[in-house]
Structure 1
């Protein structure tokens, strides 16, 4: 794909200039692309900024 760039979801940089990480999620049983990130640092910052881990824990009961 000459001339095609993919921008980082977090910072907007061209991911082909970095060591990119691509993320997919399941929606209605189908894989859907979330997008690409320059590296794990941008992915980590995106997760933190979007508060994607809030409320995302296993249920646990001491009993």
Structure 2
């Protein structure tokens, strides 16, 4: 988020409402990024678990499965 001249002046003058708004936006941005990162980690964990399960499956010869 880029600050315009008026916002910069208010920050320099110490207008706390702008600082609080800016702080709230930063916090919201961080929270969204944390949630997205948690999602990515969970997806990776689930994929990794599925890959391990697939590797551990016993592959039977085709004639065993069909009974021929």
Do both share a fold (TM > 0.5)? no
Between 1 and 2, higher relative CO (CA 8 Å, sep ≥ 6) is seen in 1
The structure with the largest strand share of the pair is 1
TM-score bracket, shorter-length normalisation: under 0.3
Larger radius of gyration: 2
